[in-house]
A and B are shown apart, each in its own frame.
Chain A
């Protein structure tokens, strides 16, 4: 009997120990992710031009250009305005998004041909953004609340976290995210695993530039789909951290104006 009790206590202790260790890993993961988000806080307003280069498996290329304005909000997710500037048939098509830390985002789409504004569903997280390898969820604002975290490893200044999306509609089972501890915990790379847990895509952050002595922004984001061999490169230019947006710049009227 003593033996049994002893054995039982022993395994319980080990069990608790494992649980404790897992809790520690989760805590450490959350700490790092929080530091990364905290380090990027306070940019206020930013405007940027983007070029999107889509490459199919035969190497054929097509391009889109867009302008993006982001207005940072602390109490809730950011507000964002995107306008397509090419190709010409979708020029002036624009979206207004109010992201939320918890729950679905609010999103409106403006169609210039008939001057119509539509409220659209934002529940399609896993679908591709304008035929690219970026899913909608890959482009939404970074919020702590969107994932659960687990510390995996640290090699030099690189920290590896496993992040599991909270939203069941996410197209991913998990992501392995590489943070750079020496550079304000900026993200260097993300490996995306699909719902069957096979490696789907890799996102690499290229040519980081430091703005305002605080905010790291990569000039290029390269997304490679390992299952289809398709690629999308996002090239950022004309970062402007000196503008000051107001709530008035993110209304339905502002959405229509942006299309001009």
Chain B
């Protein structure tokens, strides 16, 4: 990993210097710092020894970027540090460290980068390039930086083609002994092995095509390499054996934007030696905009989630319904609230979610988050470990 960073640094510096920097007068440098203080309170006693109720944490995210040649060339770096009660949740990560060059109808990127694919709100099925930062967030929207070489090619009639070479696999890290959202035996980083003989150094490839036709946005993707989700096997004693399978995955994402109504669909087909399955999410979002004449938008979201793996779906979303409402006040303070729930149609497991954010002063934001495990059915394979892990969290983010 360290070797690779050096390699990227070398590439970045080489590309950087091949430009005659004196000639490039429009070089813009930008430094930013985000400081987050978070307090998570789990009101139920932990299920496992060592788990606590109070989890204060602090995170620092510095970022530095250079852009020149009217923004056609960029260098961006973002680092994330967090300190928490759980030693496993005390870590740092390079979220971004890449060089980018665009010319005419192509774009080239090299380094560690984040890429997001997909349209659904409750589950991100087609999104596969980056490993989830499962320690930071429950919803999978926080990600680890992925080493890549990305080449994009655009043609106005045909849309955009993205090609990815992904030389290194990042492991998903799970909570430690003192952390919440852990299994009975905490999963050590080294305990998850690889199906591929090249382990984390297997070169993965991916390609995605994206285009839009009037109200229709469509993406088709293919991935071949180390899966981002570990595959879990349980032995009769209840011990967990986990490894990253070598997979082939095809993904489709589709959105139809019909005025205030958004129709969304995502589906994947994944094939590995031990497993082949289809998963899908289909839903809609309808927004009643400016209903009070003061800018209040109320959106209604409904999504159905299917996963052929059934109980073995790591997300537990195999035959579930997501229902939610998004309130955007469009006020000076950008107040927004997302309320929702996921109910399992087979087991009646119910998970409730609240996310709210507001700018409370210049460069200071407040976020509230609640995840309540209302009912966890005894049939749940993974979620049962988290049945005591309902929490309320408040966090403040200061931007410098």
> Known interface pairs A89-B359, A91-B32, A251-B154. Does A121 touch B116 (Cβ–Cβ under 8 Å)?
no
Asked whether B212 lies within 8 Å of A119 as measured between CB atoms, the reply is: yes
Asked whether A88 lies within 8 Å of B363 as measured between CB atoms, the reply is: yes
Residues from chain B with a CB closer than 8 A to the CB of A88 are: 32, 34, 363, 399-400
Asked whether B397 lies within 8 Å of A89 as measured between CB atoms, the reply is: yes
Give the distance in Å from the alpha carbon of A252 to the alpha carbon of B154 in the complex: 10
Give the distance in Å from the alpha carbon of A253 to the alpha carbon of B107 in the complex: 8
B210 at the interface (CB under 8 A from A): yes
- Partner of A115 from the list B32, B74, B115, B363 (CB cut-off 8 Å) is B115
Residues from chain B with a CB closer than 8 A to the CB of A116 are: 116
Residues from chain A with a CB closer than 8 A to the CB of B332 are: 54, 56, 62, 131
Chain B proximity of A101: nearest CB distance (Å): 15
Residue in chain A with minimal CB distance to B285: A121
B378 at the interface (CB under 8 A from A): no
A114 at the interface (CB under 8 A from B): yes
Residues from chain A with a CB closer than 8 A to the CB of B275 are: none
Residue in chain B with minimal CB distance to A63: B362
A138 at the interface (CB under 8 A from B): no
A183 at the interface (CB under 8 A from B): no
A128 at the interface (CB under 8 A from B): yes
Asked whether B160 lies within 8 Å of A251 as measured between CB atoms, the reply is: yes
Give the distance in Å from the alpha carbon of A252 to the alpha carbon of B257 in the complex: 16
> Known interface pairs A124-B287, A128-B295. Does A115 touch B334 (Cβ–Cβ under 8 Å)?
no
Interface size class of A (residues with CB under 8 A): 35 or more
Asked whether A260 lies within 8 Å of B212 as measured between CB atoms, the reply is: no
Binary contact track A22-62/B, C-beta < 8 Å → 1, others 0 = 00000000000000000000000000000000101000001
- A99-121 residues with Cβ-Cβ distance < 8 A to B are 104, 106, 114-121
Residues from chain A with a CB closer than 8 A to the CB of B74 are: 257, 260
- B324-339 residues with Cβ-Cβ distance < 8 A to A are 330-334
Asked whether A121 lies within 8 Å of B260 as measured between CB atoms, the reply is: yes
- Partner of A257 from the list B71, B143, B290 (CB cut-off 8 Å) is B71
Residues from chain B with a CB closer than 8 A to the CB of A258 are: 71
> Known interface pairs A56-B332, A127-B295. Does A115 touch B116 (Cβ–Cβ under 8 Å)?
yes
Chain A proximity of B114: nearest CB distance (Å): 4
B76 at the interface (CB under 8 A from A): yes
A/B interface sample: 5 pairs, CB < 8 A:
A91-B32, A114-B116, A117-B116, A124-B287, A253-B154
Q: Which residues of B contact A (CB under 8 A)?
A: 32, 34, 65, 67, 70-72, 74, 76, 100, 102, 104-105, 107, 114-116, 119, 141-143, 152, 154, 156, 160, 210, 212, 214, 217, 255, 257, 259-262, 287, 289-290, 293-295, 297, 330-334, 359, 362-363, 365, 397, 399-400
Q: Which residues of A contact B (CB under 8 A)?
A: 54, 56, 62, 87-91, 104, 106, 114-121, 123-124, 126-128, 130-131, 171, 243, 246-248, 251-254, 257-258, 260
